[in-house]
């Protein structure tokens, strides 16, 4: 493998890496190399800077200090560090969720005024009234009233969930009874995320919690408050406001950028603005303006989780995943990269300055010194979006044609799978049901289900771990559910089209995919949409025949290339919900504490019925997941997997 092939398996990315090298442009891979050797204490989780008696570090070889100045040992230090990351990851998702609730409330309060009337002060509307009413009924809100009143009541109730001090989150009731009992017994039934984050952070400050297990239990409760609270609220209310996704075809990879059009990349996480930007990019007056500037049109594409959001609901093409954000700019063909929050590399400013690309920040929470900021406001969403699109159009003549190099790769994909859509596609509109999925698993046609999610990390060959793991799983008749950058990786490899079943899936999965016309890998959205995987798992239990708890299902999770604190939180709410989860890349920086490592990979199972595993290679990840799925099949006394010995895989 050449050095560039070691960086990424994606041909489009390789082409851009060659260009970066030729033009002397530094990327994330160069910075990683420059950073070597990275701090070994940090990697093991035994470095502490919680108070100013430190920073302290524990010698993992037992030759130097075994205690910090305060007396904290490696277990306490590593557990506190990890707990803080859980709090940060949960905060990111849930703060996103809160903004969605505020938009719904604003929408409900001002929709009494029709568009164009004095008093109408926004550009949103309640797109999915049915889902809103279902949510209202779930919470016991009377639906025999004006839709905006329902939205206001649902919005206020959801907003109060964030700060809920006592009791439990409303969505907890969605979990199987047995799961709720486990949470109650273990003392991790979550209250509001604001409450849980504050308590978790409190326990990690100097001189509070010194028990690694207790720190992890508090961490689990915080993560559950995100998965079954902030993130779930974000997903459900985004569906209400912007519409529930339905299966949609689109394209993915850098080849979606267009040489003859104004290219705008929307990057970040919150769809509230990017949905409006999609609308503005189709505004006839702006398209006309783009043509006057010499472009054939306006091409808006997505990056990272914002891409997943606008893909799921609008079919907008995806330019790439986390490690491709710099590479998109290096094509020389991006007029504007518009960013909001999360996973936006600080390096973008530097890379954009090498080209004509304008980086535009939009969130008051995320700014770069000296970078153009056009602040988003829900009240002026369309106006702000048009302003940003106009910036891009005006920048089109500044593009230097000789520096444009757009890779040809763009792959077809199908996205837009939700808990509700799985009902319909499997059972049909009139008999919507999870029965066929459960029957598929019970009969052994399907081995089980896997959730493969998370980021990219330059420490690993870009996309390789996602793609190899998912190929191995579908080959063994495991239906794969995906979100985030992992879904984008597999989409680029051609796994998210129905035809992929014939090429890559085992015979049982092939039969299911052919019968209902789905890909073997279902794209369920952005990282907050991991909540869709939780609710789909609840439907499997409700349908019957596969146990009483989420931990009974022949299912497993994985984050093969994770890098963000958000992925840690997701891992904790997966495990906390009973899903065995394999972690690739870095083992959460816990190896400096044997006790903590043992707890996460063994002891935690006694508390929540699931555990983590750390693995380096995709084949090993697949083996661990399949072994777990098979163990669960055995525990349920299911028939053997139907086509175990007769794999029909072509490659
Ligand atoms: O929330 S998968 S790199 S983009 S953190 Fe970020 Fe990771 Fe991508 Fe989305 Ni999720």
Residues 6-32 pLDDT 10s: 999 999 999 999 999 999 999 999 999
Q: Is 320 in the pocket of ligand 1 (CB under 6 A)?
A: no
In tens, the pLDDT along 331-341 reads 999 999 999 99
The chain-wide mean pLDDT, for the chain, equals 95
Predicted local confidence at residue 426, as pLDDT: 77
Distance from residue 645's CA to the centre of ligand 1 (Å): 37
pLDDT in tens, 506-561: 999 999 999 989 999 999 999 999 999 999 999 999 999 999 999 999 999 999 99
Residue pair 477/638 in contact (Cβ under 8 Å)? The answer is no
For residue 310, how far is its CA from the centre of ligand 1 (angstroms)?
15
The reported pLDDT for the residue numbered 649 is 47
343 lines ligand 1 (CB under 6 A): yes
Evaluate if residue 176 carries a pLDDT over 70.
yes
pLDDT for residue 648 is more than 60: no
In angstroms, what is the span from residue 451 Cα to ligand 1's centroid? 15
Q: Which atom of ligand 1 is nearest to the CA of 528?
A: 1
- Give yes or no for residue 489 CB within 6 A of ligand 1: no
Find the length of the chain: 651
Lowest mean pLDDT among 98-102, 125-129, 315-319, 432-436: 432-436
436 Cβ inside 6 Å of ligand 1: no
Give the per-residue pLDDT at 651: 47
Kindly report, residue by residue over 250-304, the tens digit of the pLDDT.
999 999 999 999 999 999 999 999 999 999 999 999 999 999 999 999 999 999 9
Ligand 1 center–CA 484 separation, angstroms? 6
Q: Check pocket membership of 336 for ligand 1, CB cut-off 6 A.
A: no
Q: Is the CB of 322 under 6 A from ligand 1?
A: yes
pLDDT at 359 over 80: yes
Nearest CA among 179, 81, 223, 187 for reference residue 572? 223
Residue 83 pLDDT class (50, 70, 90 cuts): very high
Which 3 state secondary structure label does DSSP give 364?
Answer: coil
C-beta contacts of 646-650 below 8 A and 24+ residues apart: 646/507, 647/475, 647/476, 647/506, 647/507, 648/506, 648/507, 648/510, 649/475, 649/504, 649/505, 649/506, 650/502, 650/503, 650/504
Please tell me the predicted confidence (pLDDT) of residue 423: 81
What is the pLDDT at residue 112?
52
pLDDT score at 51:
98
Atom of ligand 1 nearest to the CA of 564: 5
pLDDT attached to residue 429: 58
For the whole model, what pTM was predicted?
0.97
Nearest CA to ligand 1 atom 5: 564
Record the tokens describing residue 601, joined without a space: 């990979």
pLDDT at residue number 433: 84
Q: In angstroms, rounded to a whole number, what is the distance separating the alpha carbons of residues 89 and 566?
A: 4
Return the ligand 1 atom nearest residue 322 CA: 3
Confidence (pLDDT) at 119: 43
- pLDDT tens digit sequence for 450-482: 999 999 999 999 999 999 999 999 999 999 999
Q: Is residue 564 in contact with ligand 1, taking CB distance under 6 Å?
A: yes
Could you read off the pLDDT of 605-629 as tens digits, one per residue? 999 999 999 999 999 999 999 999 9
Average pLDDT over residues 420-432: 75
Q: Which residues contact 628 (CB under 8 A, 6 or more apart)?
A: 556, 580
pLDDT (tens digit per residue) in 114-169: 555 544 556 898 999 999 999 999 999 999 999 999 999 999 999 999 999 999 99
Examine the pLDDT at 351 and tell me if it is beyond 80.
yes
**pLDDT surpasses 50 at 632:** yes
The residue nearest atom 3 of ligand 1, judged by CA position, is: 455
Protein residue with least CA distance to atom 6, ligand 1: 343
Task: Give the pLDDT band of residue 406 (cuts 50, 70, 90).
Answer: very high
Q: Which atom of ligand 1 is nearest to the CA of 454?
A: 2
Tell me the best of 456, 566, 568 to mutate to test the pocket of ligand 1, counting ligand atoms within 8 Å of each CB and taking the most. Answer: 566
Ligand 1 centroid to Cα of residue 530, in Å, is 11
Backbone region of residue 498 per phi and psi (left: phi > 0; alpha: psi in -120 to 50; beta: other values): alpha
The DSSP bridge partners found for residue 462 are: 8
């Amino acid at each position: 493998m050449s050095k560039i092939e070691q960086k990424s398996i994606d041909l489009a990315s390789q082409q851009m890496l060659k260009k970066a090298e030729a033009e002397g442009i530094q990327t994330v891979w160069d910075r990683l190399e420059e950073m070597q050797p990275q701090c070994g204490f940090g990697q093991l989780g035994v470095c502490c800077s919680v108070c100013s008696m430190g920073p302290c570090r524990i010698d993992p070889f037992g030759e130097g200090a075994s205690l910090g100045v305060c007396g904290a040992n490696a277990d306490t230090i590593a557990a506190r560090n990890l707990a803080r990351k859980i709090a940060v990851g949960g905060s990111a998702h849930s703060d996103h969720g809160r903004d969605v609730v505020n938009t719904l409330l604003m929408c409900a309060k001002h929709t009494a005024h029709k568009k164009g009337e004095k008093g109408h002060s926004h550009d949103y509307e309640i797109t999915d009234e049915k889902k809103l009413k279902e949510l209202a009924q779930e919470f016991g809100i009377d639906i025999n009233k004006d839709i905006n009143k329902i939205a206001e009541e649902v919005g206020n109730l959801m907003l109060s969930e964030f700060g809920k001090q006592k009791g439990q989150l409303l969505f907890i009731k969605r979990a199987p009874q047995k799961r709720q009992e486990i949470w109650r017994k273990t003392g991790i039934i979550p209250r509001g995320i604001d409450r849980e984050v504050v308590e978790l952070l409190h326990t990690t400050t100097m001189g509070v919690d010194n028990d690694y297990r207790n720190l992890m239990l508090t961490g689990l409760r915080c993560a559950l408050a995100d998965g079954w609270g902030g993130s779930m609220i974000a997903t459900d209310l985004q569906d209400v406001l912007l519409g529930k996704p339905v299966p949609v075809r689109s394209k993915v990879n850098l080849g979606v950028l267009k040489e003859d059009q104004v290219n705008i990349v929307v990057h970040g996480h919150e769809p509230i603005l990017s949905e409006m930007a999609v609308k503005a990019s189709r505004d006839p007056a702006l398209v006309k303006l783009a043509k006057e500037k010499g472009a054939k049109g306006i091409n808006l594409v997505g990056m990272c989780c914002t891409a997943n959001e606008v893909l799921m609901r609008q079919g907008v093409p995806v330019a790439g995943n986390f490690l491709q954000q710099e590479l998109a700019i290096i094509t020389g063909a991006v007029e504007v990269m518009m960013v909001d929050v999360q996973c936006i590399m600080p390096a973008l400013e530097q890379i954009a300055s090498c080209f004509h690309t304008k980086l535009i920040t939009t969130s008051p929470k995320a700014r770069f010194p000296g970078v153009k900021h056009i602040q988003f406001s829900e009240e002026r969403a369309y106006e702000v979006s048009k302003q940003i699109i106009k910036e891009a159009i005006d920048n089109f003549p500044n593009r230097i044609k000789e520096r444009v190099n757009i890779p040809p790769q763009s792959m077809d994909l199908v996205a837009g799978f939700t808990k509700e859509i799985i009902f319909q596609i499997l059972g049909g509109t009139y008999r919507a049901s999870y029965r066929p999925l459960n029957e598929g698993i019970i009969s052994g046609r399907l081995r089980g289900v896997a959730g493969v999610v998370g980021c990219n990390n330059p420490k690993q060959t870009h996309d390789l771990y996602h793609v190899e793991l998912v190929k191995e799983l579908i080959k063994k008749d495991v239906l794969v559910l995906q979100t985030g950058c992992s879904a984008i990786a597999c989409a680029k490899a051609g796994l998210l089209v129905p035809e992929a079943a014939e090429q890559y899936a085992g015979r049982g999965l092939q039969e299911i995919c052919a019968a209902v016309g789905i890909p073997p890998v279902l794209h369920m959205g952005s990282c907050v949409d991991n909540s869709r995987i939780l609710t789909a798992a609840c439907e499997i239990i409700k349908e019957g025949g596969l146990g009483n708890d989420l931990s009974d299902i022949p299912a497993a999770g994985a984050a093969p290339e994770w890098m963000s604190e958000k992925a840690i939180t997701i891992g904790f709410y997966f495990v906390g919900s009973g899903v065995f989860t394999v972690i690739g890349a870095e083992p959460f920086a816990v190896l400096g504490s044997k006790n903590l490592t043992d707890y996460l990979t063994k002891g935690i199972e006694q508390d929540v019925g699931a555990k983590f595993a750390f693995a380096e290679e995709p084949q090993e990840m697949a083996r661990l997941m399949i072994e777990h799925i098979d163990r669960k099949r055995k525990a349920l006394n299911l028939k053997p997997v139907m086509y175990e010995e007769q794999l029909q895989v072509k490659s």
